[in-house]
Chain A
Amino acid sequence: MSYRLDYLDQLESEAIHILREVAGQFERPALLFSGGKDSITLVHLALKAFRPGKFPFPLVHVDTGHNFPEALEFRDKLVEQLGEKLIVRNVEDTMRKRHLAEPKGKFASRNSLQTYTLLDVIEEFQFDACIGGGRRDEEKARAKERIFSVRDEFGQWNPKLQRPELWTIYNGRIDKGENVRAFPISNWTELDIWNYIRREKIDLPSIYFAHEREVLEHEGQLVATSRFIQLDPSDKVSVKRVRYRTVGDMTCTAAVESSATGIDAIINEITATKTSERGETRIDDRVSEAAMEDRKKNGYF
């Protein structure tokens, strides 16, 4: 018998360990489910961590109202298969209740408003830990975040007051009002996720695979046309074969041209590609160099 673990097995085992630490240390955890490949992978890991038992947490989806219909359909199907509890809270409701202004502009994104809904749902259910699919390779600010990341009552992250995290010992002790964001797949890269999805034969929403879609070209990025985006007469709209590398809002997620209809082809494209996942597909990160850091400090995932 070989006592060596492949790198994917090591990453998997680490993630399961973290999920079980959350279950063991917190009274009311939740798993933030966005419908994207990272949170789908989290769900798969949770199955490995807790079956034949039930998940010791509900799935929570903060719905901006700007989601891809394919992602929502997939979410509902998955939850039904799992037989686990799903809590959906809508950004639109928060906007109404709190009299928040609808963001303006061509790609008016409700991304920053998600934070309000998230903090409200945390308050509503008194969640003390939220499991998220953040990865450290996504962005420079994330690269420094702990696996157990303490947020204050306002959901804020303070990069200078992070707890040292030693060995594989996770300190989840918090005061009332505070909560912890836990990131089981911190150490995975985009390619690790895809390789794992291939190995485990995990189902994904169809938009991850090449399909025909009407898109508009904007500063070198392809954005799907939808009722959430204002078209100008000068916009170049065309039908292209595209797929998505990340699945966020229709307003702030760009597609990439691709003919990859299967997972092997996707992995080949990603291995060959020269643009990082966020740079290629996130419109909101370009705004400022410190965009992610600012949003995290304000309670973003």
Chain B
Amino acid sequence: MDLLRFITAGSVDDGKSTLIGRLLYDSKNIMIDQLEAIGRQSKNREDGEIDLALLTDGLRAEREQGITIDVAYKYFSTPKRKFIIADAPGHIQYTRNMVTGASNSDLVIILVDARHGVVEQTRRHSIIASLLNIPHVVVAINKMDLVGYSRNVYNDIVIDYAEVAKTLGLSDVTYIPISALNGANIVDRSEELSWYDGGSLLEILENVEVQNSVNLTDARFYVQYVIRPQVEELHDYRGYAGKILSGTYRKGDKITVLPSGLESTIASIEIAGKEVEEAFAQQSIILHLKDDIDISRGDLIALSGSQPQVEQDLEALLCWMGNKPLVIGNRYLLQIHSRLVKAVVKDIDYRLDVNTLQKEPSPTMIGLNDIVKISLKTASPVPFDSYNKLRTTGGAILIDETSNVTVGACMIQ
């Protein structure tokens, strides 16, 4: 059994919450007491139906306003897979939430209301999906019941979206007609949609290949913590603890520590107290080196044959998430995994219009949810890869030094 993380995106009222509720309900991942609780809240509704959307609308403020205001995580599983859903809201002011949810996702479901077709928000969500480099896109054309399950309506939307996908260079796009409300094509294929010859949404989610988004060629490992037991019998023990972000490491491999450039050889690899010959991407391990060299938290250990870039001048696409504006010349902290360095925003090249992909050169005011291309200078060299090559070592956050708040997501170019 493996794991798929996905995100749902759509405009308000496209049926995102209903869809998630339906997935959980039809795959039997909702419990009676949860149903009773939403039943109590649905009572005020005129039609008396249970409102599946209430399952994901977690916080009271949201229940009162009837909108989703933050990213919520939901879980369900089938015998094939465990699923983690990031439910991110669709309003224009919440780009930051979608970026947040998208950063960890292997797949995005973009909801389109069959009556409205591809709208501005569809483009925006697709642009964000492409900026964040989400490997798989599923375009779910919802509310098919309201257009008489029409094949023509579906086909027209597919043709429209194919244009969007082409402009953005989205390579893996799957289309599916659904009715979240009626459960058509969600878990089971539906009779009304018998003209559609793909699998149900759940079948798509169960079968999409997740492994091919894991990079096994470029070995990257950021040291999180140095383990040095202070006891006599383990006097010489010095283990570098961290998670392999990509690639594989083998006993005897030649490694380079960055940014220092010091070299050594892997003496042994431990996973949870057991020695292994080889370890690979996503495993949390302890590395031991042959030489006693200076290594601490925030250093990157790469295989000598495939090293990342190490620079002080970085170019990045930045999604601004702060409430205060971004100011040229301001100092921030840049955190890339366990490495934290001071950084100055040197220049703002352009602002990207997330509806049209137009670049607006040298913008003056950068505010919440803006996506801009910036140049950064860091106080010390940072090891990284370009985000388009490696999501894991190409993503970094900006932190406001005075408030400690995370104010930006950087996709390093």
Contact = CB atoms under 8 A, between A and B. Distances in A.
Interface of A: 1, 3-7, 9-13, 16-17, 20-21, 23-24, 47-54, 56, 136-137, 140-141, 143-144, 159-160, 162-169, 171, 173-175, 186-187, 189, 191-192, 273-276, 278-280, 289-290, 293
Given A136-B75, A189-B75, A143 B97 contact: no
Interface in B332-364: 333, 335-338
B6 to A, nearest CB: 13
A17 B58 contact: no
Interface in B52-75: 56-61, 63, 69-75
A274 B32 contact: yes
B229 A52 contact: yes
Interface in B243-287: 243, 248, 272-273, 278, 280-284
Contacts of A279: 31-34, 36-37
Interface stretch (B9-17, B189-197, B395-403): B395-403
B377 interface: no
Given A54-B229, A144-B59, A275-B31, A13 B282 contact: yes
B59 A16 contact: no
Interface residues of B, number: 76
B70 A192 contact: no
Interface in B99-138: 99-100, 103-104
A168 B242 CA distance: 12
Given A164-B96, A167-B103, A167-B395, A276 B33 contact: yes
Contacts of A21: 224, 338
Given A5-B282, A279-B32, A166 B395 contact: yes
A11 B283 CA distance: 10
B396 A164 contact: no
Given A7-B82, A164-B96, A289-B37, A24 B31 contact: no
28 contacts: A1-B278, A1-B280, A3-B216, A13-B284, A17-B242, A21-B224, A21-B338, A50-B241, A52-B234, A53-B228, A56-B225, A140-B57, A140-B58, A141-B58, A143-B74, A144-B72, A165-B406, A166-B104, A166-B397, A171-B335, A171-B406, A174-B404, A186-B73, A189-B82, A276-B34, A279-B34, A279-B36, A290-B60
A166 B75 contact: no
A19 to B, nearest CB: 9
The 4 closest A-B pairs by CB, nearest first: A279-B33, A276-B31, A140-B58, A48-B272
B321 A164 contact: yes
B391 A167 contact: yes
B375 interface: no
Contacts, number: 178
B59 to A, nearest CB: 5
Contacts of B69: 160
Nearest to B59: A159
Contacts of A5: 2, 282-283
Contacts of A140: 57-59, 72
Interface string B369-413: 000000000000000000000011001110100001110010000
B406 A3 contact: no
Task: Pick from B59, B211, B225, B333 the residue with the most CB of A within 10 Å.
Answer: B225
B64 to A, nearest CB: 10
Contacts of A164: 96-97, 99-100, 321, 406, 409
A187 B409 contact: no
Contacts of A51: 273
B328 interface: no
Contacts of A168: 104, 243, 337, 392
A169 B397 contact: yes
B75 A187 contact: yes
B282 A10 contact: yes
A201 B86 CA distance: 31
Given A1-B278, A20-B242, A48-B272, A165 B59 contact: no
A93 B406 CA distance: 39
